[in-house]
Amino acid sequence: MTCGPSSRPVAEPAASPRERRPRRGEGVWYPRWFWPLFATPGIIWLAVLFVVPFYVVLSIAFGTFDQIFRNPVPIWNPAQWYTGTFGKVIGQIFGRGAFLSAPFVRTFVYVAAASALCILISYPVSYYVARYAGRRKGILLVLLIAPFWISYMMRMLAWVNLLQGDGLVNRSLTSLHLVARPVDWLGGNALTVILGLVYGYIPYMILPLFAGLDRIDPNLLEASRDLGASRVRTFLRVTLPMSKQAILAGMVIVSLPMFGDYFTNDLLSGAPRTSMIGNLIDDAVTTPGQGTNGAVLVLILMIILILPMFYYVYSTAKATKERAA
């Protein structure tokens, strides 16, 4: 676009849209660069906070390390990149005797389980708030995002206290005779890590789901009922398909940070048998001489995560096109 929104297209079939210009007195004329200028902060933001840091990670992954101070030494020129570390780490993940495959598989299992739980818990909540909360919608939304007011670390530390051997959870379970002896929640328990991930990230799932469900036109649901569909059928044939994009958005928003999460496992388990990729990356970047390995792990994780991201982008584009049609 070269014109502002107030400049109506002029009926000159011979001219392409690019060549159209508002005539004098027809509306406000904007210079060609005016509207693209609005994208500048976003582009600068993206360049400074994503493109440049990403190139730094790339240069570290294909760099070497200073043998005296054990810091990574990036190689900026791609033509000179050293691929030895990348090959070594790939071998540790996929090669014979690979030992890094276990945390990768574990991470995928944990994230899949935690994301599924997030949906199962947050969908009914969001559905209720969007459709039935009425005037209480505002206050309920505030309550749903209330956990954001407390830092993630504080919330996890609270769970450490609650889940201890003599913590509130174990005391409740034993006093209700649901378990014979206190459950060892914090002794390297995979379930604890998964539940911790769910607890930590579920608000990120609720909000996009609520937004998606709230946008569904109630007339469509009424039409479905008027045409004889039951409540369940209306939900399955109308509500659920129409909330697919919100579910996908929520999945992307919760699962991406979960893949890089290391803090939850550190606080709620700390055992190697529940280590996730994030823990290995954290270990590597904070250990002298291992920064290059950490950068390679980041890249590999990124490559793996690009696939579902592409699916999300494709799916969103498809849905937009369908709506437009």
Partner 1 sequence: MRHPRERGILSGPLSRRDFIKRSAGTAFALSGAAAILEACGKGTPITPTSTGFPLARPNQPVKWPIFGDNVPIADGLPPEQNATLKVYNWSDYIYKKVLKDFQRKYRQYGVKTELSTFNNTDEALAKIRSGQVDFDIFFPTVDLLGKLIEFKFIRPLNHTYIPNIQNVWSELQDPFYDQGWQYTVPYVVYTTGIAWRTDHVKDDISAMPNPYDIFWNTTYKGKVEVLDDYRETMSMVLLRNQIYDVNTGNPKHLALVKDQLLQLAQATNPIVNVQDYVDLPEAKTWINEAWSGDMVNAQYYGPKGFDPGVIRYWAQPVHAPVNNDLIVILKAGKNPVMSHLFLNYMLDFNNSMENFSWVGYQPPQTAVTADLLVKQQLIPPNLKTAVVDESIWKTGARELELSPSVDSAWHDVWTQFKAGG
Residue 291 engages partner 1 in binding (rule: CB under 8 A): yes
**CB-nearer residue toward partner 1: 33 or 99:** 99
The number of C-alpha atoms within 13 Å of 155 and in the hemisphere containing its C-beta is 17
Report 81-110 residues binding partner 1 (CB under 8 A).
92, 99-100, 102-103, 106
Residue 275 engages partner 1 in binding (rule: CB under 8 A): yes
CB of 90 to partner 1, least distance (A): 14
**CB-nearer residue toward partner 1: 65 or 210:** 65
Task: Show contacts of 20-27: CB within 8 Å, 24+ apart.
Answer: none
Which SS3 state, helix, strand or coil, does residue 72 take?
strand
Per-residue interface string for the shown chain with partner 1, residues 52-71, x marking contact by CB under 8 A = -x--xx-xx--xxxxxxxxx
Q: Which stretch binds partner 1 (CB under 8 A): 2-10, 229-237, 276-284, 304-312?
A: 276-284
To which H or E segment does residue 64 belong?
Answer: strand 64-65
Q: Which stretch binds partner 1 (CB under 8 A): 169-177, 209-217, 238-246, 287-295?
A: 287-295
Q: Which stretch binds partner 1 (CB under 8 A): 21-29, 196-204, 230-238, 283-291?
A: 283-291
Other residues' Cβ atoms within 10 Å of the Cβ of residue 300? 20
Report 148-207 residues binding partner 1 (CB under 8 A).
153-154, 157, 164-166, 184, 186-189
* CA gap 165, 186 in Å, rounded: 8
CB of 206 to partner 1, least distance (A): 24
* CA gap 30, 5 in Å, rounded: 9
* CA gap 262, 136 in Å, rounded: 36
Q: Measure CA of the first residue to CA of the last residue in the chain; give whole Å.
A: 22
| Contact residues for 231 (Cβ-Cβ < 8 A; gap 6+) | 225
The token pair that represents 77 in the structure block:
């020129």
Residue 36 engages partner 1 in binding (rule: CB under 8 A): no
To which H or E segment does residue 30 belong?
Answer: none
* CA gap 322, 325 in Å, rounded: 5
CB of 295 to partner 1, least distance (A): 8
CB of 261 to partner 1, least distance (A): 10
Binding site for partner 1 (CB under 8 A): 53, 56-57, 59-60, 63-74, 76, 92, 99-100, 102-103, 106, 153-154, 157, 164-166, 184, 186-189, 260, 262-263, 266, 269-275, 278-291, 293-295, 298
